[in-house]
Structure 1
């Protein structure tokens, strides 16, 4: 029988006895979505130029911060603060209401404060077990809809929707509609995952594990919000086990494949660095295209992602570089960040010496096998 690189990689296989849980029995609250991501950069004007080329709209630009938004109604979705160096600060999640923020504050012995920023609202600042600052907010002003790109009308053999008209999508920035998800690396993957499930009410859509190490538990989780019968993104947060605590990438929805591709051509013309794409993922099914901003942060345009309600049980699959896409170009070393460096070696040595984290020598061998394959 003919086999393909994708055999046994789709995660329709469910849990087996002994697998870890994918949701908390009685979570403190259930957040509704990511609100925004916060970064720090030394040059806000340069950050704004790339943001506009990538497809964001400036919601506000104060003396020390830039607030970026998408075209759909909602809050700003990226905040870039003036600072001495480029770094990721952390995610902010949107609670259902102010009462939930206070409920979480009581459970974590933390203080709620008024947000002194465009949009107002209240916020609660926490730190997850990986050391990542996490903000939970409510009552932030909703910005109105903006004009956006509409998916192109498509002709099919049995459904012709476009007659006497051509398709000429302009080569322009792909207009961001909204923030989709963020992916983080943690050396304390299991503890951090449990923290998000318990405190924020998130649930797991898919688990991945290093080949031959399923008995040790998962090493990556694609995690969604629990809105009951209302479908939500396949993942709002994804976490993976690694030697450090770091931002991997964030993803922003655009209208369709043409918007994604034409927007990519625009970025290419302006000499931005392409990382990987175009393709279609397996977990989440998104059409994807990855780019580096001028400071090296990885950002993704995506379209057509999966939506699950809270009845879908998690899938389990082995992790593999070839399992990152159903179709598309071979995954790049840039996307995998597989290039050796003195910083990476120092990080690996530090992680392996720390007996309190989950990144052990056996886990390192599993990760090397995934990348080298």
Structure 2
């Protein structure tokens, strides 16, 4: 008898694709980037930004009157670049190419020029624009800074194991030391066009698709996208894209040692007056243990640990998008995390919805109804 069980059941998403649905990868991408290199922001108060960054677990690599570079403990480039600006805003991501030939290939394919990066970063970049007009850098040959001392995971007595004897567990109340940048999540009014652009230009591949309940036939509205490193496993997602009423940054995530580092680091942040947005919990897509915080400029940032790693053989999973489906365990997703808290942000989101409905994009009335259902599901 034929086994009709869906191979995605109990794997990473509830189902695989149906015939004719998006394949989750491009046939012949221009290049295949290796990783997310860094994120760039503008902020008016670098002193305030640095205080939060140190409490969150970053290490300052460079600080001038107008620039702040933040790094993790892993060898490599800085995770976050902050430059002084009149208002807080997200500038865009930078992706790491395999080599300078890939940067050249992208430049030739897009009609862009290669430019040297500042001496503090080293290497070269080709600056592209995604369908939303956001700047996307693809870089190579950047400076590799040596690793810093890591925060070691605790030795755990799990099940009947006795890895630790004659010793107590006393994780220190200190910042959870950021190891590296994991991913960035972006919202777009042109979701499918933007997804295809990243797959075709950067060679990313989809790990999971989400669709609004009852609207699967209209296609996905969110995708978790990873780097294609062949048989070498990569993070479940380096980039996530979601359909919404405005083109904006949603959050970025930074890996820490383990649950204890994440939890003790959260207590350190809370005691200093910083605001937790949602957590602690464990996601479904990606499986990460998570904890979300708002920085003083309102940007959402995440500590994570124990995420999934996929190689290029795994096909995309498909699942409905629901607020309750964002986590396997943990507190319910907060109104702040979902972006529906009363106040200025909610008013701005309402204006964005009304504006998006008047424009030619993928966010129509059907999608608005689906999004509102997700927020209350």
Return closer, same or farther for 1:343/1:9 CA change in 2, 3 Å cut-off: farther
Shift of 1:8: 10
Q: 1:276 aligns with which of 275, 278, 283?
A: 278
Return closer, same or farther for 1:24/1:10 CA change in 2, 3 Å cut-off: closer
Contact 1:223 1:237 in 2 (8 A): yes
The reply on whether 1:369 has 2:373 as its aligned counterpart is yes
Cα distance in 1 between the residues matched to 2:11 and 2:148 = 39
Q: 1:50 aligns with which of 43, 46, 52?
A: 52
Task: Name the structure 2 match of 1:28.
Answer: 30
- 1:249-260 mapped onto 2 (5 Å cutoff): 249-260=251-262
Contact 1:187 1:359 in 2 (8 A): yes
Shift of 1:12: 3.5
Task: Name the structure 2 match of 1:359.
Answer: 363
- 1:160-199 mapped onto 2 (5 Å cutoff): 160-199=162-201
Shift of 1:18: 1.7
Shift of 1:156: 2.5
Cα distance in 1 between the residues matched to 2:160 and 2:234 = 31
Q: 2:355 aligns with which of 331, 336, 350?
A: 350
Shift of 1:59: 0.8
Shift of 1:63: 2.9
Task: Name the structure 2 match of 1:4.
Answer: none
Return closer, same or farther for 1:10/1:120 CA change in 2, 3 Å cut-off: closer
Shift of 1:300: 0.2
Cα distance in 1 between the residues matched to 2:73 and 2:310 = 23
Deviations 1:318-340 (A, max 9, x none): 00000000000011000000135
Cα distance in 1 between the residues matched to 2:119 and 2:207 = 34
Q: Which runs of 5+ in 2 are unaligned?
A: 1-8
TM-score (norm 2): 0.95
Contact 1:9 1:318 in 2 (8 A): no
Q: 2:132 aligns with which of 116, 130, 133?
A: 130
Task: Name the structure 2 match of 1:108.
Answer: 110
Task: Name the structure 1 match of 2:326.
Answer: 324
Cα distance in 2 between the residues matched to 1:314 and 1:56 = 33
Cα distance in 2 between the residues matched to 1:233 and 1:285 = 11
Cα distance in 2 between the residues matched to 1:136 and 1:334 = 32
What is the Cα-based RMSD across aligned positions, in Å?
A: 1.3
Contact 2:54 2:175 in 1 (8 A): yes
